[in-house]
A and B are shown apart, each in its own frame.
Chain A
Amino acid sequence: DTEVTQTPKHLVMGMTNKKSLKCEQHMGHRAMYWYKQKAKKPPELMFVYSYEKLSINESVPSRFSPECPNSSLLNLHLHALQPEDSALYLCASSQGAGGGYTFGSGTRLTVV
């Protein structure tokens, strides 16, 4: 299995809702990432998990809460989001810096 699977593919949520994005990989990769991508922009790193521990938080607002339950799963819990948080959220995994990063197809999030 050489894929990163993200669910759901599309999500519409209100500003008072709580939702979660899920990401799964079975490649044995030791690092997993969340990226946010606005239209016509490059992906921006949000969080990095290395060996299931949070190693990088790029000053992301607390309304985004990551969780890594095990080495194959990565969640992003969403609460009280703003319309400007609408974006494509990409999950990725890698064995290391030189192994290449495998990206999922993303979750298209719309906050209304």
Chain B
Amino acid sequence: AQSVTQLDSQVPVFEEAPVELRCNYSSSVSVYLFWYVQYPNQGLQLLLKYLSGSTLVKGINGFEAEFNKSQTSFHLRKPSVHISDTAEYFCAVSFSGGSNYKLTFGKGTLLTVNP
């Protein structure tokens, strides 16, 4: 079975500071990895995804993530955050093969950007 652990439930930062949101996964097979953002009272928006190839993945809104197979991690980073980045961020994983399309989410990290 696959699982996802987001190590921080809340991350407060000041505007224009860098931020890293941590995500570790566990799976006995190859996986696909995703980061989603959820603004208040909205659905989930895909930030970026890792399927294969380059371990550094760039996404929307200036976010990027690095896949580290040896550490089973997929941490999300942004060099300079804005107030508008305040939101809930979810790391998620799915199997890379078969017909099981189940997407498993971590518990989420609330990023709060303060002025």
Q: Interface of A with B (CB < 8 Å)? A: 4, 6, 31, 33, 40-43, 45, 48, 50, 55-56, 90, 92, 94, 96-98, 100-106, 108
**Can you name 10 extra interface pairs (CB under 8 A) apart from A42-B107, A97-B97, A98-B49?**
A33-B103, A41-B107, A48-B101, A56-B100, A56-B102, A98-B96, A100-B49, A103-B43, A105-B43, A106-B42
Which of A40, A97, A106 makes the CB contact (< 8 A) with B94? Answer: A97
Q: Are A43 and B96 interface neighbours, CB within 8 A? A: no
A-B contact count (CB 8 A): 63
Chain B residues 70-115 with CB under 8 Å of chain A are 90, 94-103, 105-108
Contacts A31-B101, A41-B107 given: A100-B46 contact, CB under 8 Å?
yes
Contact of A101 among B34, B96, B108 (CB under 8 A): B34
Interface flag for B51 (CB, 8 Å): yes
Per DSSP, chain B at the interface is loop
17 pairs of residues in contact across A and B, judged by CB atoms under 8 Å: A31-B101, A33-B103, A42-B108, A43-B44, A43-B105, A48-B102, A97-B95, A97-B97, A98-B96, A100-B46, A100-B49, A101-B34, A101-B103, A103-B36, A103-B45, A106-B43, A108-B41
